[in-house]
Structure 1
Amino acid sequence: MPNTLIDPRHASVSASITQAVLHAASRLGLPREELLDACGLHEAQLADPDARVSFASQEQLWQLLGSRLVAHPEPGLVLGANLSPGPFSVLGYLLQSSATLGEALTAGLRYQRLVGEGGELQLQEYADELRVLYRPLHPQLPATRTRVLALMAFWVQMMTPLLDDFRLLRADFAHPQPDELATYQAVFACPLRFSAADYALVLPLSLRDTALTQANPPLQSLLRQHAEALLARLPSEGLIARVVTLLGAQLAHGEPDRAELARTLHLSERTLQRRLAEEGSSYQQLLNDTRQQLAERHLASGQLPAAEIALLLGYSEPSVFFRAFRHWTGLTPGEYRAQHSRASA
């Protein structure tokens, strides 16, 4: 599913995460000044941790790092192991001071744009699983694989000391399975799934309410105030993007509720419909589009049965999903999956 939150032409990332990546590269013996010059960045741009850097510049940095670390089977994993939480500024400290893992992940969703606009973080609850998904911009670029693997490795590194019983049920990767898996196993220590619909870390749902070892409510309150101020300084998202984000979150719990979504946006249902119409869309159209894009992604990955996909999309009965999918594409879910498999082969 494309990331509708972000206009790629104007996407930016925080200077703090760029600093963190450069620090990791320096630990691996790569010359900082050469990397800055090659990416058109300057030290003055990075002096303020709350400043912004164009995502295109940082994407160029990831591409360069991947080409320089060819001795490592997966440059992203070795970079992620060398990232430090400190340079991630307010969001990193906010996550660590949260009372529970669920609270930390909710804060991550709320303030993800403070770190960067190179992708979209989502949470899904399904059966006894808590899925932390990341959907990157430009998923086909080689730099994206390096970047996303570094982020996933860093997340594991950051979460492990915060929970006495941290563990992963599974790690999902959108790229095909590589020849060498030892580095993956060392980082994630869990079953691995490749060619998946999304990049995701899958945790036991029971960990959601687990208290974090570094919980600090007074500090968290101050950090939230700072995070809200920083978020207000960023260019605002369009209403369509905000609705799509909320729909994705609601779908993980069943049929979306338009009234609840409108309340979350501090709008009446009538005002929500009017403003969506002004942006050339409607609630039902966005719901259908979101479901179709998610359905096609899941079917293309070949991992989940169609009946499970129906539940993930908030349908009470698989037959309702099957009819909707045929209306969208002219194909049944099985026919779409077979057609995609033939095209891939």
Structure 2
Amino acid sequence: MSTRSVLGLIYLVQGLKQLGEQPEPVLARHGLSLDKLDPSTRIERSRELRIYADLAESVRDPLTGLRLGGFYGLAGYGPLVMLLMTCATAYEAIQTGIRYQRLTYLFGTLRFEPGDKLSALVLSPMGMDPRAFRFRVDGEVSGTYKMVRDMQVGLGLDIHAERIDIPYPRPPEALEYERYFGCPVRFGEHEARFWIRNEHLQLKLPSADPNAHAMYRSMCDQQLVAQEASSETLKDRVLTHLGLFSGSYPGAEEVAKALGLSERSLRRQLGEEGANFRDLLAEARYAKARHLLKHTALPIDAIAEQLGYAESAAFIHAFRRWAGATPGEYRGR
């Protein structure tokens, strides 16, 4: 099954906390904790969706989903933002965004509908229970709106929606949506739509750069390949779960609970796959250690702390056992 960056979940939970909600109990039911999530790791898409549905049930303010869009920063989209900003025109940027939409935090799907005077960027939402549906639609519409507006601020452009359609019945708080988006909002539609004037789509982007665009396209293509990495075996699911953590790691009982198993079943099924929990924990730590040594300038004691070691000496001893070299020697290569 596909995976994607856990950063979207982190933004969501941080936003909920700042809005006065209490997402921690829901995360705990899924065996996770915000302060232990590593933003450089990936999460199974289906698992993230289950967490979102449970979070929607815990939200008290019906406008929370709408306001969450403000907590998704441009930097969190990585190379995708630069790919869009190096396009030649606004229309090309929209088409490129649709092509690479799996690199966003959407669960719905985007497409473009051309018209005579107005064209629409269409968001087809994923079907969910009514409360979770509104929560996800509001978050995805407001998040997409913020991403586009933030990019325009950086480029000095003003491409605004003439109207926005929302795919659920008009709520009592409908006027808040028009205040938030700054344009008319029509409810009760089948899909979400951002209606844009065609002349705005032809605006040239001042940051257009064909060479940089080719480089960022290659980076985005690599991310799409990583997203489709299979995690079908229990061993892979355990490794994916362990990879989410930084600072300390859960035990076998906690991991089993997070994956919907008893500890006994977890150990038995891993054994049938020729694996055991202790070795998988070491493998997860080794993978994270290699990443940090290669791609950061963190000192050895800081890396040891991220891997859950109380002393750097214990980490150095373990790494020598894994790699046949000390962390310093490995980094020096």
Q: Distance in 1 between matches of 2:37 and 2:208?
A: 29
Asked whether 1:36 is paired with 2:27, we answer yes
Q: What is the CA-CA distance between 1:147 and the residue it aligns to? A: 1.6
Q: Distance in 1 between matches of 2:37 and 2:80?
A: 17
Q: Distance in 2 between matches of 1:54 and 1:45?
A: 17
For residue 19 of structure 1, the aligned residue among 10, 13, 17 is 10
Q: Work out whether residues 55 and 117 of structure 1, in 8 Å CA contact, stay in contact via their aligned partners in 2.
A: no
Asked whether 1:98 is paired with 2:97, we answer no
Q: Distance in 1 between matches of 2:194 and 2:31?
A: 33
Q: Distance in 1 between matches of 2:128 and 2:109?
A: 12
For residue 137 of structure 1, the aligned residue among 111, 117, 126 is 126
Asked whether 1:109 is paired with 2:109, we answer no
Aligned position for 2:71? 82
**Worse overlay, 88-97 or 28-37:** 28-37
Q: What is the CA-CA distance between 1:214 and the residue it aligns to? A: 5.0
Deviations, residues 41-73 of structure 1 (Å, cap 9, x unaligned) = 466995354x43223332233334434442x33
Q: Work out whether residues 129 and 204 of structure 1, in 8 Å CA contact, stay in contact via their aligned partners in 2.
A: yes
Q: Distance in 2 between matches of 1:107 and 1:139?
A: 28
Amino acid in structure 2 at the alignment position of 1:195: G
Q: Work out whether residues 131 and 202 of structure 1, in 8 Å CA contact, stay in contact via their aligned partners in 2.
A: yes
5 Å-filtered alignment, 1:156-195, equals 156-161=145-150, 162=152, 164-195=157-188
Asked whether 1:58 is paired with 2:48, we answer yes
Q: Distance in 2 between matches of 1:93 and 1:144?
A: 30
For residue 199 of structure 1, the aligned residue among 192, 196, 200 is 192
Aligned position for 1:147? 136
Aligned position for 1:228? 221
Aligned position for 1:287? none
Aligned position for 1:239? none
Q: Give the number of aligned pairs.
A: 225
Change (3 A) 1:98 1:57: same
Amino acid in structure 2 at the alignment position of 1:210: L
| TM-score of the two chains, using structure 2 as the length reference | 0.59
5 Å-filtered alignment, 1:262-273, equals none
Q: What is the CA-CA distance between 1:26 and the residue it aligns to? A: 3.5
Q: Distance in 1 between matches of 2:30 and 2:208?
A: 38
Q: Distance in 2 between matches of 1:186 and 1:57?
A: 34
Deviations, residues 155-181 of structure 1 (Å, cap 9, x unaligned) = 222222415222211111110011122
Amino acid in structure 2 at the alignment position of 1:16: L
Q: Distance in 2 between matches of 1:173 and 1:133?
A: 10
Q: What is the CA-CA distance between 1:111 and the residue it aligns to? A: 1.1
SS of alignment partner, residue 78 of structure 2: helix
Change (3 A) 1:79 1:234: closer
Q: Work out whether residues 84 and 97 of structure 2, in 8 Å CA contact, stay in contact via their aligned partners in 1.
A: yes
Amino acid in structure 1 at the alignment position of 2:103: L
**Worse overlay, 96-105 or 40-49:** 40-49
Structure with higher Rg: it is 2
Change (3 A) 1:13 1:235: closer
Aligned position for 1:126? 115
Q: What is the CA-CA distance between 1:121 and the residue it aligns to? A: 0.9
Amino acid in structure 2 at the alignment position of 1:38: R
* Seq. identity, %: 24
Q: Distance in 2 between matches of 1:131 and 1:229?
A: 29
Q: Distance in 2 between matches of 1:180 and 1:93?
A: 36
Which runs of 5 or more residues in structure 2 are unaligned? 230-333
Deviations, residues 124-150 of structure 1 (Å, cap 9, x unaligned) = 101112211111222444223212211
SS of alignment partner, residue 142 of structure 2: helix
Q: Work out whether residues 2 and 227 of structure 2, in 8 Å CA contact, stay in contact via their aligned partners in 1.
A: no
| TM-score of the two chains, using structure 1 as the length reference | 0.57
Which runs of 5 or more residues in structure 1 are unaligned? 1-9, 237-345
Q: What's the RMSD between the two structures over aligned residues?
A: 2.9
Q: Work out whether residues 13 and 115 of structure 1, in 8 Å CA contact, stay in contact via their aligned partners in 2.
A: no
For residue 47 of structure 1, the aligned residue among 38, 46, 63 is 38
Q: Distance in 1 between matches of 2:94 and 2:211?
A: 18
Higher-RCO chain (CA-CA 8 Å, sequence separation at least 6): 2
Aligned position for 1:292? none
Change (3 A) 1:14 1:35: same
Amino acid in structure 2 at the alignment position of 1:56: S
SS of alignment partner, residue 126 of structure 1: coil
Amino acid in structure 1 at the alignment position of 2:219: H
Asked whether 1:212 is paired with 2:205, we answer yes
